[in-house]
Structure 1
Amino acid sequence: MASTYGTDQVDGTSGIASIEFIQEDSVKSSGEFGKIVRSGVPSSTFWHFVDFSGSGPFAHRESLGTDKVNAFSQVAVSMTELDSDGNPFLGSAIMTVNNVVPRANGDIIVRGHIHWDSTLQVRLNYIIVN
């Protein structure tokens, strides 16, 4: 089966095709998949952060105790290593945020991985839009 994706090289890269472009004729709208589309002008935007120690794969549940987080909230999460004074810095560890799940009860679950053999201090930064 032929792929519906084409690849192009991005200027300034090493020559490895790194971006997949979706051909216009293969794009479908949410309505074509029978999904409910919820969109509009944001009614609230706020941020939150939490610091913790960890290493390896993790799942972190943050309970914000507000009705402003629900299953339809748009939540972006970034992660950074912290120095001994609690300041963000770019260390040698690779850290990934894999999944972000806003829940109807105000919880946000983040699955990620701290690719380091020993425990590191890290910060999860949240931006929540409704």
Structure 2
Amino acid sequence: MQLGELEKQVLQYLWETEVADAKQVYAYFEKRRGGSLNTIQSTLDRLFKKGLLKRDKQGHAFQYQAAIERDTFIGQLIKGLTSEFNADKGNSLLAAFTSVSPEFNEDQLERLEQIIEDQRDKNKSDGSV
């Protein structure tokens, strides 16, 4: 899935803020990058149509929030990108991961080990292994 720069920034803002209407999003970005309320409303609508935002009508305005967690979204992007370059998704994901793993610090490596162990435990309890 391709996202424009403003779409990425708005999504990041909503991950941090959790819920906001178009005027709140506009007020935040007006100070940082300029633009119009109409541009923000269009961006929110595009993100909603892409399934990345949820919205709930409150009075005359929609309240927006992320429809997907940040880590899940990043994982989907990585899977999608690696599958575009190689039909063997498992190996391409591992290759992509190993190409960036030298940049990890000790804390990140320990966290990764814990995530892997948790996934192994989950696979065992699900009977996936």
Report if TM-score (shorter chain) is over 0.5: no
TM-score, scaled to structure 2? 0.22
Higher relative contact order (CA 8 A, sep 6+): 1
Looking at secondary structure, tell me which structure has more helix per residue.
2
TM-score, scaled to structure 1? 0.22
Looking at secondary structure, tell me which structure has more strand per residue.
1
